[in-house]
Structure 1
Amino acid sequence: MSTELKVSQTNLYNTDFVLWIETTVEQLRQQNYTHVDWENLLEELEHMARRERKSLKSNLIIIFLHLLKWQYQPLGRTGSWRGSLREHRRRIKEDLNDSPSLVPYLQQVCTDCYENARAQAADETGLPLETFPIHCPYSIEQALNSDYLPD
């Protein structure tokens, strides 16, 4: 690939991301592999995988947060908490259906997600951190079960 073409593709990547994607897709469809901006394409693919994992963690934190608030602040229970649980459970289920390889990752980050949710639950409820169990009282199955609400 000529230096001029490489500079042009990098410039396109930096100035018009959507056009860069469309151009890259077209080059791949035409099997014009010598003109593909491989460096940025590989970087974007890696970024996509990281973004999927971050989204999964964020949704799991929110689920744990609302389960804790539901259980330990019963007078504050609202439909919005229930709706948030349903929404974030749905998002995780869709992500796992689209990418089953994320299932082991979900198990791997469960403890960290719970620790984050526990701290946030204390912040949001005003209850002492010690109110909430140190170890996650919910299984992944319970957390993702659309009918599960702790007593």
Structure 2
Amino acid sequence: MSLTITNESLATTNLENTSLYDLDYCVWIESMSQFLREGKFTELDIPNLLEELDDMSGSQRDALESNLEIVLMHLLKYRFQPQLRSRSWLLTIFEHRNRLKKAFKRSPSLQRYYQEVFPECYQTARKMASLETGLMMSDFPEISPFTAEQSLDIDYLPD
């Protein structure tokens, strides 16, 4: 659903744009888009645009970490609780690997970030797996038994 923006609503000062940002985020976004399309750069709410751009990058990284942690947690459960393996676990592993694959397709630079945060995400996944399974943290290896590549491999499952 697209909001209608009138010329009157676009004829605002930067101070009013900031207020619009606080009052109606969707209208603010559409206003900023319209200003860019029309080349009205002096009308742009630069401080909030910069903040939004920074947030977008952070959101992509947060999503990557979350998806990786879920994959790793389920791989740990799959390996250390073979008697409880389920189709639901397999679906979760597939779904979150697929999300990571899509993120890399949209933003190839995230692959480098993936490699950087892999060890940290594994530690979080260890804790998550411990909480979910009732197993002790010490039951899971301190260093990931799965490589970063295996974690993304659609066909990989631990023995």
TM-score, structure 1 normalization: 0.96
Are 2:118 and 1:114 aligned?
Answer: no
Quote the Cα distance in structure 1 between the aligned partners of 2:136 and 2:31.
54
3-state SS, counterpart of residue 141 of structure 2: coil
The CA deviation at 1:111 is 0.5
Counterpart of 1:135 in structure 2 is: 143
Are 2:85 and 1:77 aligned?
Answer: yes
Equivalent position amino acid for 1:12 in 2: L
Where does structure 1 differ by over 6 angstroms across 4 or more consecutive aligned residues? none
Q: Is there any run of 5+ residues in structure 2 with no aligned partner, and where?
A: 1-11
How many residues get paired?
148
Q: Which of 32, 49, 53 is residue 24 of structure 1 equivalent to? A: 32
Higher normalized contact order (CA 8 Å, seq sep 6+, divided by chain length):
1
Equivalent position amino acid for 2:126 in 1: R
Quote the Cα distance in structure 1 between the aligned partners of 2:51 and 2:129.
36
The CA deviation at 1:128 is 1.4
Quote the Cα distance in structure 1 between the aligned partners of 2:50 and 2:123.
33
1:50-69 aligned at under 5 Å gives the runs: 50-69=58-77
Q: Deviations over 1:95-144 (max 9, x none)?
A: 00100011110000001100000011111111111110000111111101
Equivalent position amino acid for 1:39 in 2: P
Are 2:55 and 1:47 aligned?
Answer: yes
Quote the Cα distance in structure 2 between the aligned partners of 1:18 and 1:128.
46
Counterpart of 2:104 in structure 1 is: 96
Q: Which of 150, 153, 156 is residue 148 of structure 1 equivalent to? A: 156
1:10-21 aligned at under 5 Å gives the runs: 10-21=18-29
Quote the Cα distance in structure 2 between the aligned partners of 1:138 and 1:67.
8
Quote the Cα distance in structure 2 between the aligned partners of 1:72 and 1:106.
24
The CA deviation at 1:5 is 1.1
Equivalent position amino acid for 1:86 in 2: F
The CA deviation at 1:33 is 0.3
The CA deviation at 1:76 is 1.0
3-state SS, counterpart of residue 20 of structure 2: helix
Give me the CA root mean square deviation. 0.8
Q: Is there any run of 5+ residues in structure 1 with no aligned partner, and where?
A: none
